[in-house]
Amino acid sequence: MNIELLVVPDCPHAGPAAELLRRVLVRIGLDDAAFITRVISDTRAAEAEGFTGSPTFMADGRDLFAEPGRAPGIACRVYRTPGGLAGLPALDQLRRALLGASASND
C-alpha cells in the first residue's frame, strides 16, 4: 500500500498528523511501513491531487476521508470526530480507514 500525508506549507497539524499516522501503522501491524509527506503549495497542485485540505491522509492515491462534492483547494482541513470537529481524525477513525484501504487491495 502506498501511503501519503499531504499538507500545506507551515501546516500546524503536519507534525501531529505524521505522529498519528505512525502510531496507527504500528497498531495495525505495519511497523515497517513507510509513508511520504508531500507539501501541496498551490491551487493547481491541489486540483490535480483532489486535495481538499491539510492534512490529508492518502492510501494508493485515494483520500481516506473524502467527502463527495468538496472542492479542492489550499486550506486547513477539519475532521468530524467523536469529540467534535478537529484538525485531525481520531486514532480509531484513521485505523479503520487504513484497514479498509488495505482490505480493498486484497
Per-residue pLDDT of 50-99, as tens digits, reads 999 999 999 999 999 999 999 999 999 999 999 999 999 999 999 999 99
| Domain encompassing residue 70 | 3-104
- Per-residue pLDDT reduced to its tens digit, 15-52: 999 999 999 999 999 888 899 999 999 999 999 989 99
Report the CATH number that the domain containing residue 96 is assigned in CATH: 3.40.30
pTM: 0.93
Q: How many domains does the chain have?
A: 1
Which is it for strands 3-7 and 56-59: parallel, antiparallel or unpaired? antiparallel
Q: How far is CA 17 from the centre of its chain?
A: 8
